[in-house]
Amino acid sequence: MKDLGLTYPYKKLDPIFYNDEVTIPLKNPKLLSKNQQLINEIGLELNDDELTLLLNGKLEIKDFTPYAGAYSGHQFGYFTPNLGDGRALNFGSINGIHLQTKGLGVTKYSRYADGRAVLRSSIREYLLSEAMNGLGIPTTRALALIGSDTTVYRDKTEKCAVVMRTSPSWIRFGSFEFARIQHNVELSKQLADFVIEESFPDLKKLSNKYEELFFRVVDKTITLMALWQSVGFMHGVMNSDNMNIAGLTIDYGPFAFMEEFQKDYVCNHSDKEGRYAFSNQPFIARWNLLVLAESFKKFANHELLENYANKFIPRFKDQYFAIMGKKLGFNSVQSDDRELILEMFDILEICKIDYTVFFYYLSCENYDGIILMSENSEMIKMWLDKYQKRLEFETVLKSDRLFKMKKTNPKYVLKNYILQDVIADIENGNTELLNDILAIAQDPYSEYPKYEKYALPTPKNLAGFICSCSS
């Protein structure tokens, strides 16, 4: 029997918020990858066999009582009352970090689904959470990944896997929607107090703590959106149940990183109306915050909350343009900067230029490389001229500017075609690429000569790989 020192702070809430569950292990589990960096951070002392057993729900652990959380949510704009952890199991917490598996079988909240996660989507979540963390973007993380011989049917028969994810908070905007529909304001307040304790303890003593809590969620969400947009990350399913109260990226599904820049790109095959298009993400975040404000209505001043949420877009723009200025190497702010940046987006789109590679090449002063990528060299040359003239206003040493730009503009982002290569390799029984890509994800600003090809524009025949929600 292992003593991991697990605690269950969430279970202090009313039992309406969760259900105790049992694990339903996979057949022939095999450890595919472990995230030693995170294992060390958490201080988990397990050998590989024990880690495999842990992820498969078969490690004998002292005081182990896994549970699934209840939540509701607006999915593609429509309210769904009965969501919840349909395939996630909360294993308990170690020093404020909550461990959760995804794919260990059905729970009270599975509805008609099987409680499993397929290998390809588990690989995607495992790598992407580390990639976002490596980019300095708030996110849940991933501790390890096991594959198995258990199969489920999606569009075809597929192998199941389990990823263990970790987070300082698993509370979703939808958790408050769930509390609201219980028609007992004490339950909503209980949840709000829990979130304050867990994520914003400095608010505890304030007389207007619930309003302040909401303001903090808005602030965190604005920052998250500015960061997503700056790296060209598209979540794909920004339903309110996939929005984290502590401002973390959660629930990696059909996400994508921008390849050739297209401001209205839609990465989710099921999103026929483009609700979650790249350019729409900040607006959807604000929409979700307004939904959250509705759930706070009975115990906080709704007008104050709405007014605060309605300042989202101008405040988002300030943060976003500040980050974009840094990506371009601007230390100062000039009056025409926003115009230059907006013009850049139009030109990137018309010239079909790879977003990440563009900024990386700017950081290397590889202007010829940018022109070569462009489908309209005159246009991009014109913009590059303006950009270079703008740089003349900068007083910092060029070498310092380029050094800083290289720390802001990653050489690598995990585009879908790279993840497809990893998935193919794992399906063929090789784990080397998975673990190499994990290392790149964790430090995407460094050089990896063996993987130079992944720092180039996406090959045309592999670009635009689109996932659906089925996973």
Could you list the residues that contact ligand AMP (CB under 6 A)? 83-87, 109-110, 113-116, 237, 242, 251, 253, 469
Which residue has its beta carbon closest to Mg ion? 251
Nearer to Mg ion, 251 or 260 (CB): 251
129 touches Mg ion (CB under 5 A): no
Residue nearest to ligand AMP (CB): 86
Q: Which is closer to ligand AMP, CB of 130 or CB of 251?
A: 251
Nearest-approach distance from CB 237 to ligand AMP, in angstroms: 5
Compute the least distance from the CB of residue 84 to ligand AMP, in Å. 5
Q: Considering only residues 148, 169, 242, 268, which one is a binding residue for Mg ion as defined by CB under 5 A?
A: 242
Q: How far is the CB of 353 from ligand AMP (least distance, A)?
A: 32
Dmax over CA atoms of the chain, in Å, equals 69
86 binds, among Mg ion, ligand AMP, none (CB under 5 to 8 A by kind): ligand AMP
d(CA 455, CA 447): 9
Q: Let me know if 241 is a catalytic residue.
A: yes
Instruction: State in angstroms the smallest separation of the CB of 139 from Mg ion.
Output: 14
Residues 243-272 binding Mg ion (CB under 5 A) are 251
Phi-psi category of residue 449: left, alpha or beta, with phi > 0 → left and psi -120 to 50 → alpha: alpha
110 vs 377 by CB, closer to ligand AMP: 110
* Of residues 51 and 164, the one with the C-beta less far from ligand AMP: 164
CB of 268 to ligand AMP, least distance (A): 10
Residue by residue, what is the 3-state secondary structure of the chain? CECCCCECHHHHCCHHHEEECCCCCCCCCEEEEECHHHHHHHCCCCCHHHHHHHHCCCCCECCCCCEEECCCEEECCEEECCCCCCCEEEEEEECCEEEEEECCCCCCCCCCCCCCEEHHHHHHHHHHHHHHHHCCCCECEEEEEEEEEEEEECCCEEEEEEEEEEECCCCEHHHHHHHHCCCCHHHHHHHHHHHHHHHCHHHCCCCCHHHHHHHHHHHHHHHHHHHHHHHCEECCCCCHHHEECCCCECCCCCCEECCECCCCCCCECCCCCCCCCHHHHHHHHHHHHHHHHHHHCCCCCHHHHHHHHCCHHHHHHHHHHHHHHHHCCCCCCCCCHHHHHHHHHHHHHHCCCEHHHHHHHHHCCCHHHHHHHCCCHHHHHHHHHHHHHHHCCCCCCHHHHHHHHHHHCCCCCCCHHHHHHHHHHHHCCCCHHHHHHHHHHHCCCCCCHHHHHHHCCCCHHHCCCCECCCC
- Which residue number, 251 or 337, has a Cβ lying nearer to ligand AMP? 251
Residue 69 or 325 with smaller CB distance to ligand AMP: 69
466 binds, among ligand AMP, Mg ion, none (CB under 5 to 8 A by kind): none
Tokens matching residue 111: 């509805």
**Residue 105, binding choice from Mg ion, ligand AMP, none, Cβ under 5 to 8 Å by partner class:** none
179 binds, among ligand AMP, Mg ion, none (CB under 5 to 8 A by kind): none
Nearest residue (CB) to ligand AMP, 291 versus 344: 291
Least Å distance between CB 405 and ligand AMP? 36
- How near is the Cβ of 115 to ligand AMP at its closest, in Å? 5
Q: Which of Mg ion, ligand AMP, none interacts with 282 (beta carbon under 5 to 8 A by kind)?
A: none
- Which of 49, 219, 241, 436 is catalytic? The answer is 241
Residue 124 has which token pair? 């995607």
Give the residue numbers annotated as catalytic, written as ranges: 241
Binding site for Mg ion (CB under 5 A): 242, 251
